[in-house]
Copies of this chain bind each other. A is one copy, B any other.
Amino acid sequence: MRPAALPEQLRIACAQCNLVELCLPVGLPANDLKKLDTLVSVRKRVKRHQALFESQAPFEALYAVRLGSFKTVLTLTDGREQVTGFQMTGELLGLDGIGSGRHAVTAIALEDSEVCVIEYAQLEALAQEIPALMTQFHKVLSREIVREQGVMTLLGSMRAEERLAAFLLNLSQRFATRGFSPNQFRLRMTREEIGSYLGLKLETVSRTLSAFQEAGYLRVDRREIALLNREGLRQLLYPERTDPANATAP
């Protein structure tokens, strides 16, 4: 992803990092904000395909994506992999390690990336000191829980078409939040990674994208996506319901 095309408002709030989730809504006084800036002052670069942290490794820090993007992967004993999420600018990585002191997933950079290192011990200490930060952190954790519930629903009760439509609309919205066009963007991940995330095989992802293009919902050229009919995609997810009052008329 190109360097911060963030709205002015966000850039001020997150001068040092792109830690949108933690900084933005807190509205801290200058003094506390300075402490927060210190908290996220350490940077780390991660090259494409390199691991930021590995599953089972001791948990010591959270990471805020400053530049670039990541995937988190859970690997089964027999080698099968499940992508549990994609993280882009301003999103947090490492929340899975808090509970057990070890990371549950492996985080891998999808492109050359840069993160802010947030020492967890420091975050805990600061959260103790700044109530608003603690509250905000709880919200971040809870939202991750809700996001995953959404994915569970996707995996458990949606068809391939619906899964992919939901995925594309979600990506679109996240790009928009970051000041990019919601209708034209470049996928950072392969078909296989998308498939793993959505519980599909790469061939099915490819075929479904082709079908969407066929239907005029979008244009797809390798990783480049242009959404032509977002409403159409939304209707796949939230189908027109015939009014039950009419349907049940005698």
Contacts and interface: CB of A to CB of B under 8 A. Distances in A.
Interface stretch (A3-11, A133-141, A170-178, A202-210): A133-141
Contacts of A115: none
Contact of A82 (B82, B97, B134, B156): B156
Copy number in this complex?
A: 2
Contacts of A150: 74
A131 to B, nearest CB: 5
Contacts of A74: 149-150, 152-153
Nearest to A105: B149
B198 A99 contact: no
What is the interface of chain A mostly: helix, strand, loop, or mixed? Answer: helix
Interface string A112-144: 000000000000100110010011011111111
A152 B239 contact: no
A128 B125 CA distance: 11
A199 B128 CA distance: 40
Given A96-B142, A99-B143, A143-B100, A76 B157 contact: yes
A2 interface: no
B134 A99 contact: no
A151 B197 CA distance: 12
Report the contact-size class of chain A (Cβ under 8 Å from the partner).
Answer: 35 or more
Given A99-B145, A128-B134, 16 more contacts: A76-B157, A77-B239, A78-B238, A80-B157, A81-B157, A82-B152, A82-B157, A84-B153, A95-B142, A95-B145, A97-B142, A124-B138, A128-B128, A141-B142, A155-B199, A157-B196
Interface of A: 74, 76-78, 80-82, 84, 95-100, 104-105, 124, 127-128, 131, 134-135, 137-146, 148-153, 155-157, 196-199, 238-239, 241
